[in-house]
């Protein structure tokens, strides 16, 4: 029977086809890749089709570094929390990240806040449902 990442044979229905080294590399590379995409996106929103300048590149790099740092922090802290704060932390992260990107398009502050609150509430609700349905009767996460 195939082993899964949780070590329980056949638990998730998907075999673990990558080794520990591949999982470790992905764990380290994911914040970097997502941060670079986020920084590029923020810089592109800010320049609004204009020329690429040194300040625009610096803005993208700083945005990428900030995103990476917060993502690493959330990934370290959130799994230690109970399901409600765990979902809220990820929801807040998603809402703030979206709101910052949206604010770079020139939208009003109220519109940026409203949309980011909608994103944060949606992500929190979906993740709360996921965490709630993936625990046993004592409240412990399964897997």
How does pLDDT run across 38-66, given as a tens digit for each residue? 999 999 999 988 899 999 999 999 999 99
Q: SS3 for 135?
A: strand
Distance CA 34, CA 97 (A): 12
The most distant pair of C-alpha atoms in the chain lies apart, rounded to whole Å, by 57
How confident is the model at residue 98, as a pLDDT? 97
In the chain, where are the structural domains located? 16-80, 81-143
pLDDT at 16: 77
Mean pLDDT by runs of 10 across the 143 residues of the chain is 47 72 89 96 91 94 97 94 92 97 94 96 96 77 70
Q: Are 11 and 17 in contact (CB under 8 A)?
A: no
Output the pLDDT for position 10: 46
């Amino acid at each position: 029977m195939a082993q899964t990442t949780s070590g329980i044979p056949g638990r998730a229905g998907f075999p673990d086809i990558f080794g520990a080294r591949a999982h470790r590399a992905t764990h380290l590379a994911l914040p970097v890749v997502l941060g670079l995409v986020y920084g590029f996106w923020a810089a592109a929103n800010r320049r609004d089709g204009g020329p690429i300048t040194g300040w625009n590149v610096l803005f993208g790099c700083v945005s990428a570094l900030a995103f990476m740092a917060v993502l690493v922090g959330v990934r370290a802290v959130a799994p230690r929390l109970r399901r409600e704060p765990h979902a809220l932390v990820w929801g807040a992260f998603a809402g703030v990240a979206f709101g910052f990107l949206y604010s770079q398009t020139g939208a009003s502050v109220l519109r940026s806040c409203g949309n980011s609150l909608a994103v944060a509430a949606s992500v929190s609700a979906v993740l709360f449902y996921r965490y709630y349905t993936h625990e046993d009767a004592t409240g412990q996460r399964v897997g």
